[in-house]
Homo-oligomer: A and B are copies of this chain.
Amino acid sequence: MRDIHLVPVSYFPSENLEFPMISSLQTITPNQLFYVRNHFEYPPIDINTWNLSIEDSVDRSIKFTYSDLINMNKVTLSATLECAGNKRSLFERKAQGNQFMLGAISNAIWGGVRLKDVLEQAGVSLSGTEIVFEGLDYGQRNDMEEHVFFERSLPVAKAFHPDTILAYEMNGEPLSIKHGFPIRLIVPGWYAVASVKWLHRIRVVEQPFKGPFQSIDYVILKKTNDYKHALPLSPVLVNSTIASPTEEQEMAAGTNVIEGYAWAGEHSVTKVEISTDGGNLWSEANLLDPDVPYSWRRWSFSWNPQNSGPYTIMSKATNDHGDVQPLKAEWNVKGYQNNSIHAVNVHVITSNLVNSILN
């Protein structure tokens, strides 16, 4: 009976939909609830003419068809993808761009081939420093006259990591158009902008790549237009989210369950702590999932407030490197990498007062 579906953030010029972070927890996000983040319209795909072109630094190229790829050695891998703009709307000072709340993150099992296997099979000379990945999605940006394709680069080392894959399956189903059919690059532990959808071209370059999605967007700017000091995104930071209760929720006194997710990109989440008094006292939550590389872990915490009034609930994750979520992540112009301790204000209600009003 419930109408559980994605949360629209924007439809124009491109469709952007969040995972509904208010539903009950699931480790694997069902495909129809996996968040969607686009820069342009969905590209038309003809699988009969589609191929993946791999070009080396001296412009030799080789092409793979869809069946070439699915006939290679298959790997599967669990990975949480998080948009770099997840929780942008939670910055106190507003930041430019889609106002993502808590749900620009989801977790799936990806099936495909190792990128390194494809690159090695292509036999192209990999003398370059970076590898550029081009999707078939393209269009006009607000800040450029000409149309551009969506392109992103990786350092050679990350591209050749055995866990970097070309995925054609998502949770056991063929990748859908909305998630990058026929092939999506999956770069585990990195913000999801690196995981290029509708991949059709891979090229080795000698110089650091400067495309608009590499050097204008998805950079950390401390001041407006200060591109001279722009920093690249880091790998995904340690983070956690309280999925229930939600902001300003009213709760009955007595036993309540606080629950949510924690993740740490290339690292492992080792601990999630909860405060119900605005950050004074902290207690450990129960981690409900095993430690699976690149994958979020559900957690829960039992809380038994007796007194009515406002409470601030907070969650704070720690990774195996000892990194802990900061109280306030550093603001940046484009609102990326918000891993502030998550705080939710709630109201606990007892029946005494109401009885006196109604009777």
**Which of A46-54, A106-114, A194-202, A210-218 interfaces with chain B?**
A210-218
User: Judging by beta carbons under 8 Å apart, are A212 and B23 in contact?
Assistant: no
User: Judging by beta carbons under 8 Å apart, are B11 and A143 in contact?
Assistant: no
Q: Is A354 an interface residue (CB 8 A)?
A: yes
User: Judging by beta carbons under 8 Å apart, are B8 and A94 in contact?
Assistant: no
9 closest A-B pairs by beta carbon, nearest first, are A142-B252, A143-B354, A142-B349, A143-B349, A8-B20, A227-B357, A142-B250, A96-B347, A99-B247
29 contacts between A and B (CB under 8 A): A2-B11, A3-B8, A3-B15, A3-B178, A4-B11, A5-B6, A7-B8, A8-B22, A9-B22, A10-B246, A94-B248, A96-B248, A98-B248, A99-B247, A99-B248, A141-B354, A142-B252, A142-B349, A143-B250, A143-B349, A143-B350, A143-B351, A143-B353, A143-B354, A144-B354, A144-B355, A212-B354, A215-B357, A225-B353
Q: How large is the interface on A (under 10, 10 to 19, 20 to 34, 35 or more residues)?
A: 35 or more
Given known pairs A8-B5, A11-B4, A143-B353, the reply for A358 and B250 (CB within 8 Å) is: no
Name the distance in Å between A137's Cβ and chain B's nearest Cβ: 13
Residue of B whose beta carbon sits closest to that of A345: B94
Partner of A144, one of B7, B247, B351: B351
User: Judging by beta carbons under 8 Å apart, are A357 and B216 in contact?
Assistant: yes
Within 8 A of B (CB), among A1-49: 1-12, 15, 17, 20, 22-24, 36, 42
Residue of B whose beta carbon sits closest to that of A357: B227
Q: Is A97 an interface residue (CB 8 A)?
A: yes
